[in-house]
Chains A and B, each alone.
Chain A
């Protein structure tokens, strides 16, 4: 099986869908041939599909998102890119009031088959306006599906599923996983939404996390295994729909849960997961649920500050050990 980066796998997924379905098109700032996307995800696609289908836009986030809504409800399958996750704030009306609510408030008369891709996460020293992780905001918005792929294999299968879904999908990526490599099959595959990936099986503690934190949790699990501590690592891959079954079964087995994401702690997805587990598996818990998150501050710039902000392997390992 070929090994490729997350970025390449994502691009392949987009390309396959554009070949399969001529309604699929990409639009966003600098996605076309002069730049290929701020993170080079769409590089080469404009050359192959033309600049009508890989469409550079003005810096108009709300209208990019809104145009995706309008195109989606009239028969196209737009994939809109918002250059940085923090800038989705400029498109919130179209995402949260229009895309998310349209089917409902029009009583099922229409559906909004669009994908909005954007990228979260720190670690690149680009400070408060280019580093935040905002997935919880969208999890709090009924009507949106949310994909949070952390691995190359997942990103390809999930982008294809996202594009084929008749509902609006927020497709979140992470800056520091674009270069991570993994085996990715050549043949076509789709990954259904709502199915978690269990990266390590274990009996002592369950660690549930997203994006870069999954990679860190795996490293922690491998290191703790040497100390005789058995850690199960779960990546939900999509937040909406959420694979509760895999998570709850794991918690019922281990009795202990650590939640780890790069979001600031208050109101993070980890808070929601903790609430679900105490509602549905309280009797199986042998220890309090522990959350490992960023502090409640904007993302800082200086390397010493940013490294303090982003949860590291030490904090994850400490959290695991704290409930053993």
Chain B
């Protein structure tokens, strides 16, 4: 695995990549912990193991750029800059949550930091990303949209519809496939005839690239190139990030269907360790600085958890609010 940082990546960016990757890791570890304490209702799709994807992509975006998330969205929104307190409170179903407790894990969204939405319907985010990118283009903002989706989602009809539309209209969108090799228990090899998903983009004349999704720097560099293309009117790019879930698909899935060797290989390639090593070897960080960053983030995550736990649940009647926006007379 190449860990030589290119000259284009400055030291500050390496620290940024390390910080984003670690932040997601710590947030999700805390979520796992609170889940174990039965403080999180419903189910969860943890982002543990895939942190480098969200970190690498968002590090290449501006605040005004958009991301479209999925059912496995905690990492995306945290990386895009969401407030961790409101994110954590949402997971606990509290009224201080970013969605006032109406969305929860699968709809965790902070619109004001550029998250279009997290969605419970697999592959439903792609059309929305098309529209947001069309809007950026029509309004002449120069903003771009990064749309995350899974290997499983790439088998849905919206994949074809949306890639095609983005290509014919040369929309500023970056299609980010998080290929974690499984859709629930179904290996991608059972549902996709080609070894890689990326080549499907060739059919739509969309430039595409396969990267190590556990290496935030690789993801970042590919995204920078894609963003540049998008901003300059060059249209969409597809980036396939090969990665792996550290945990099962959802709540109680022990992921026994994954071959031992495969799991061992991937779990030995920890995204946090990989970017930490890169940053330290490049002289962007000392061990001490890296630990300092970790301490600071741990504290923020603790505070977020405390805030969430201490917040109130919504009053039952609040269920009736937010269906329609009031119309000005």
Contacts and interface: CB of A to CB of B under 8 A. Distances in A.
Interface string B282-326: 000000000000000000000000000000000000000111110
B92 interface: no
B93 to A, nearest CB: 11
Contacts, number: 147
Contact of B121 (A52, A73, A93): A93
Given A65-B127, A104-B322, A142-B323, A70 B101 contact: no
A68 interface: yes
Contacts of A75: 135, 139
A167 interface: yes
A78 interface: yes
A107 B101 contact: yes
Given A63-B165, A66-B127, 16 more contacts: A58-B165, A70-B116, A70-B129, A70-B131, A76-B131, A102-B117, A103-B325, A106-B103, A107-B97, A107-B98, A107-B322, A109-B109, A109-B110, A110-B117, A165-B327, A167-B324
A63 B110 contact: no
B211 to A, nearest CB: 25
Contacts of B241: none
Interface of B: 66, 68, 97-103, 107, 109-112, 116-117, 119-121, 124, 126-136, 138-139, 145, 157-158, 161-162, 164-165, 168, 321-325, 327
Contacts of B68: 70
Interface in A107-121: 107-111
A166 B327 contact: yes
A66 B68 CA distance: 12
A307 interface: no
Contact of B134 (A67, A97, A102, A142): A67
Given A63-B158, A67-B130, A70-B128, A109 B135 contact: no
11 contacts: A63-B127, A63-B158, A70-B130, A70-B145, A73-B132, A76-B134, A76-B139, A78-B131, A94-B127, A111-B325, A166-B327
A76 B135 contact: yes
Interface residues of A, number: 43
A13 interface: no
Contact of A72 (B111, B120, B131, B157): B131
A145 B323 CA distance: 11
A109 B321 contact: no
Interface string A34-55: 0000000000000000001000
A72 B112 CA distance: 15
Nearest to A100: B323
Nearest to B145: A70
B130 A143 contact: no
Contacts of A62: 127, 157-158, 161
A107 B165 contact: no
Contacts of B135: 70-71, 74-76
Given A66-B128, A70-B133, A107-B101, A166 B165 contact: no
A57 interface: yes
A322 interface: no
Interface string A134-161: 0000000011010000000000000000
